[in-house]
């Protein structure tokens, strides 16, 4: 074990190296580029036993690692924003083929206008592909969850690929101390590669041929859904196991911060959860609010049971989204409302759309939005405005 | 390796795994043995693997019309006009 100052991108690269990834495909895009650059350096210097494939596009990058993973090795790539959109078709292929692999997404907003800062538009646009999707809060979590994601995706109850999201620049290019586990620890944690099948000479297989029966085809889609549901348990188990090995456990799908006596909850995902912690501490210390924070680590599978558990008796819930489905609402809000409602939870829920296109959000902004909204609930029992575009001070 | 009991989009490459694809055909390749130089290009290029070589005499190739889609690639690569493309249902 050694503590190194690492950017979020270097933490992702170190995780891929420690997981003994054998094939990496690289296509540069800000703010992801230094992930694959670092991996290229590891491979070139002989520190990492892997092949680097330089490709002509993100679509090809994912196609290449998908092919390698289909052949039976751990494979990894990284992208962001427009690159992820260009990959979008291939995401369906990897998930539909049930091939486990891991990808880092340095979450960046979408153009136009041209913009390289963080928001969650790119990663949230992949929710329906069948990939597991988690959003990290800090660089240690980037490293830990990238390693864990290999174990989760390679569990036979899951057999689906997974994305680890890290916010552009706030994590990708910010250096933090990161505890690097020993190679032996990771080797114990991650034994040999597991996948449902692989392509080998002498054992011909066809993947993706025209289905003989559309009922079978639809059942494949249902099986992906059921495997996402089954992944909830696996994510919890793997989190516990990693915690026993390294002392770092994150609560599985969700972490609830200062929740035991909380009445009013903030819900969020990604790097700004760090600011939300600060806001909750200050809302309690300076304003006397019984504030709590639900950190959603995994948006796919969506943690219905944990959300219900923590929010069943909430007086109010404010969901912060860093992306929006125009004409509807923020994606985290939509999932939260849906799953609370179908589970019989009737707490008032509000959507605060903030930090889109990389607009800076501070703990003070989060406190402002919270105080204004919760004051309404305390006076009138509900929110006057359910979806609010919040621009800060 | 266990498939974990999942429903996978996999198939074994066996004859006719997707049904009799020859029913789609609108044009049909026909073979004239007299001009054949046994180059095997039609056999090599057929994307559906429906051309069989007969080493033991008789017509040099047999086309399996149950699966031939009538794409015409065999006709295109044939150097001696041994193969000809005609409308499906037309006179041979």
Same-domain check for residues A205 and A282: no
Q: What is the CATH number of domain B35-87?
A: 3.30.70.20
- Please check whether residue A122 is in contact with residue A161, taking contact to mean a CB–CB distance below 8 angstroms: no
- Angle among Cα A7, A12, A13 to the nearest 5 degrees reads 95
Number of domains in chain A: 2
> Are A224 and A102 part of one and the same domain?
yes
Strand, coil or helix: what is B87?
strand
Domain CATH for A223: 3.40.50.970
pLDDT tens-digit series, residues B1-13? 678 899 999 988 8
Q: Angle, nearest 10°, between helix axes A81-96 and A214-246?
A: 110
Predicted local confidence at residue A168, as pLDDT: 98
User: Is residue A62 within 8 Å of A91, Cβ to Cβ?
Assistant: yes
pLDDT of residue A177: 98
Positions in chain A short of pLDDT 50:
none
Domain containing residue A317: 254-389
- Selected for mutation to probe chain B from A100, A193, A215, A223 (highest B CB count within 10 Å) is A223
The pLDDT assigned to A239 comes to 98
**Of A203, A224, A246, which residue constitutes the final position of a domain?**
A246
Residue A55, pLDDT score: 97
Please report the pLDDT score of residue B92 as a whole number. 72
Tell me which residue has tokens 């590669």.
A193
Residue of A nearest to B3 (CA): A196
The CATH number for A306's domain is 3.40.50.920
Q: Give pTM, 2 decimals.
A: 0.89
Are B71 and B46 contacting, i.e. CB atoms less than 8 angstroms apart?
no
Terminal CA-CA length for chain B: 52
Extract the tokens encoding A317.
């819930």
pLDDT for A214 equals: 95
DSSP class per residue in A215-275: HHHHHHHHHHHHHHHHHHHHHHHHHHHHHHHHS----TTEEEES-TT-SEEEEE-STTHHH
Instruction: Look at residue B89 in the predicted model and tell me its pLDDT.
Output: 86
| DSSP, res A203 | B
Which pLDDT belongs to residue B1?
Answer: 60
Residue of chain B with shortest Cα separation from A212 = B18
Residue B14 in contact with partner chain A when CB distance is under 8 A: no
Neighbours of A49 (CB within 10 A): 11
Convert the pLDDT of each residue in B16-73 to its tens digit.
777 888 998 999 999 988 899 999 999 999 998 999 999 988 899 999 999 999 999 9
Mind telling me how many Å the CA of B5 is from chain A's nearest CA?
Answer: 8
A217 to chain B: closest CA residue: B9
Chain A residue set in contact with B, beta carbons under 8 Å: 96-98, 156-157, 159, 194-198, 204-212, 216-217, 219-220, 223, 227
Q: Are A205 and B13 a contacting pair at CB < 8 A?
A: yes
Co-location of A173 and A266 in the same domain: no
Total beta-carbon pairs less than 8 A apart between chain A and chain B: 58
Same domain for A262 and A242?
no
Q: Of the candidates B6, B11, B19, which has its C-beta nearest A98's C-beta?
A: B6
Residues A280 and A376 in one domain: yes
Could you say which of B4, B5, B9 has the minimum Cβ distance to residue A208?
B9
ipTM reported for the complex, 2 dp: 0.85
Which is nearest to B51 in space by CA: B32, B28, B78, B74? B74
Could you report the per-residue pLDDT of A222-254, keeping only the tens digit for each? 999 999 999 999 999 999 999 999 999 999 999
Between vectors from CA A100 to CA A70 and to CA A222, what angle results, nearest 5°? Answer: 105
């Amino acid at each position: 074990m050694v503590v190194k100052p690492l950017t979020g991108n270097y933490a992702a690269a170190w995780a891929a190296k420690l997981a003994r990834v054998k094939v990496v495909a690289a296509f540069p895009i800000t703010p992801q580029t230094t992930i694959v650059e670092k991996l290229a350096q590891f491979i070139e210097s002989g520190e990492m036993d892997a092949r680097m494939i330089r490709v002509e596009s993100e679509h090809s990058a994912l196609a290449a690692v998908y092919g390698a993973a289909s052949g039976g090795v751990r494979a990894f790539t990284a992208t962001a924003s427009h690159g992820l959109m260009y990959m979008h078709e291939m995401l369906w292929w990897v998930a539909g083929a049930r091939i486990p692999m891991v990808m880092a997404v340095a979450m960046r907003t979408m153009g136009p206008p041209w913009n390289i800062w963080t928001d969650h538009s790119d990663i949230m646009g992949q929710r329906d592909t069948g990939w597991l999707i988690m959003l990290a809060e800090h660089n240690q979590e980037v490293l830990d969850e990238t390693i864990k994601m290999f174990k989760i995706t390679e569990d036979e109850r899951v057999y689906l690929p997974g994305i680890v999201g890290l916010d552009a620049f706030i994590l990708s290019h910010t250096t933090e101390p990161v505890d690097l586990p020993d190679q032996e620890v990771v080797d114990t944690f991650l034994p040999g590669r597991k996948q449902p099948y692989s392509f080998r000479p002498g054992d011909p297989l066809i993947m993706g041929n025209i289905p003989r029966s559309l009922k079978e085809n639809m059942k494949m889609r249902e099986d992906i859904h059921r495997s996402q549901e089954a992944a909830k348990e696996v994510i919890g188990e793997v989190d516990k196991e990693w915690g026993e090995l390294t002392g770092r456990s994150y609560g599985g799908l969700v972490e609830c911060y200062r929740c035991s006596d909380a009445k009013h909850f903030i819900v969020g995902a990604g790097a700004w959860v760090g600011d939300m912690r600060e806001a909750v501490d200050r809302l309690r210390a300076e304003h006397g609010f019984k504030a709590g924070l639900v950190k959603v680590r995994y948006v796919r599978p969506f943690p219905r049971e944990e959300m219900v558990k923590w929010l069943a008796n909430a007086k109010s819930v404010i969901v912060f989204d860093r992306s929006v489905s125009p004409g509807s609402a923020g994606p985290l809000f939509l999932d939260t409302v849906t799953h609370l409602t179908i589970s019989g939870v009737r707490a008032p829920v509000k959507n605060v759309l903030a930090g889109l296109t990389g607009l800076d959000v501070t703990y003070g902004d989060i406190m402002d939005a919270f105080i204004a909204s919760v004051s309404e609930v305390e006076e009138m029992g509900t929110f006057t405005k359910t979806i609010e575009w919040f621009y800060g001070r | 390796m266990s498939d974990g009991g999942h429903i996978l989009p996999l198939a074994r490459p066996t004859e006719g795994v997707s049904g009799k694809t020859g029913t789609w055909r609108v044009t049909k390749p026909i073979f004239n043995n007299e001009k054949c130089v046994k180059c095997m290009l039609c056999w090599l290029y057929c994307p559906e693997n429906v051309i069989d070589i007969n080493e033991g005499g008789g017509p040099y190739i047999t086309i399996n019309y149950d699966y031939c889609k009538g794409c015409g690639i065999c006709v295109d690569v044939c150097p001696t006009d041994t193969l000809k493309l005609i409308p499906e249902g037309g006179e041979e």
